[in-house]
Amino acid sequence: MSPAALSAAGHKRVVRKPVPQKSWFFGITFLIWSNGTASDWPGSPVPTRMPKPPSKPLPNPRRTLFDEAGAGLPLFDDLPDGAVERLAAGGFGRGLLTASLRARLRKAGFADMAMLALASPADLTAVRKIGPLRVEAIRAHLLGELGRLLPGARAFHDGDATDRRRRDRLRAVPVADLPLDAALRESLGRAGATAADLAAWRRIECGPDLGLTGADLDRIVAALTLALRPDGPPRAVPAAADETVPADRAERDRAALLRERDREWDEAAPAERDRGA
């Protein structure tokens, strides 16, 4: 039936209006295709993209020169020879990190708890996957072992007690006695009377205030580290493993024994947890 016939019959003609195109839809689609987001649309209060991270990590504003010097010192000071030997005989003990991280420590040359106790945080963080938090976990594990071996070791070798002894040693060292060049000692002598005064500085503050360069601050940190070294057993820094020279038989047997002991302890740990539950 034609439109005229429909109209004559009383039927209303339905006219379909074209749907207007929503141009904003295509604009958003284009932005998404071009690695943008909907927030790139003009007038949006949301930032378009996350800012790029800085190329270098920002310095910790709370970190002092004392903290930097402590990173080059052993985890524990004044360990008696007997304690070092007993730590070495115990391998890695029970519950130190994970099996893969213990393998990384062995590969880096840290064969037992004695070498870990005499190593510095800087030595340990040089191992892949070992960061500051895991260094603290290693220290807590060693402190527990020392507490079982020596009476009063937990209180004496606690982190706060160790820091107090080190600060006391710095208070006894005048700035003039630090191994620095004369010009730098003279400029520092006007700022603080003892090495403890220098150790309380923060790098981001003392540089602009005193006109010290980064190299000057590095030399000060190195001098503080030397002043903080206690008289006692030497620091054990493992040498890089030379794969071309085979280890002697006794060392290989000892490493195999330690691996077997760690495996047995790892297998026994779930059973002990089940009994405790």
pLDDT reported for residue 78 = 85
Spatial distance between the Cα atoms of 226 and 246, rounded to a whole number of angstroms? 35
Per residue in 174-203, pLDDT (tens digit) is 888 888 888 888 877 665 578 998 999 888
CA 212 to chain centre: 27
Which residue matches tokens 């047995």? 264
Q: Please, what's the largest Cα pairwise distance for the chain?
A: 116
- Say whether 125 sits in a helix, a strand or coil: helix
CB 238 within 8 A of CB 112: no
Spatial distance between the Cα atoms of 68 and 222, rounded to a whole number of angstroms? 9
* Domain spans in the chain, listed from the N-terminal domain onward: 60-75+157-230, 78-156
Average model confidence (pLDDT) for the chain? Answer: 75
Residue 30 confidence (pLDDT) above 60: no
Per residue in 48-87, pLDDT (tens digit) is 454 454 444 445 657 899 999 999 999 998 888 889 999 9
Identity of the residue numbered 263? R
pLDDT reported for residue 76 = 93
At 246, the pLDDT band (50, 70, 90 cuts) reads very low
- Say whether 64 sits in a helix, a strand or coil: strand
Task: Specify the CATH architecture of the domain 78-156.
Answer: Orthogonal Bundle (1.10)
Percent helix, strand and coil across the chain, each to the nearest 5: 55, 0, 40
Highest mean pLDDT among 108-122, 169-183, 202-216: 108-122
Spatial distance between the Cα atoms of 129 and 131, rounded to a whole number of angstroms? 6
Residue 98 confidence (pLDDT) above 50: yes
Per residue in 208-240, pLDDT (tens digit) is 667 788 888 999 999 999 999 865 334 444 444
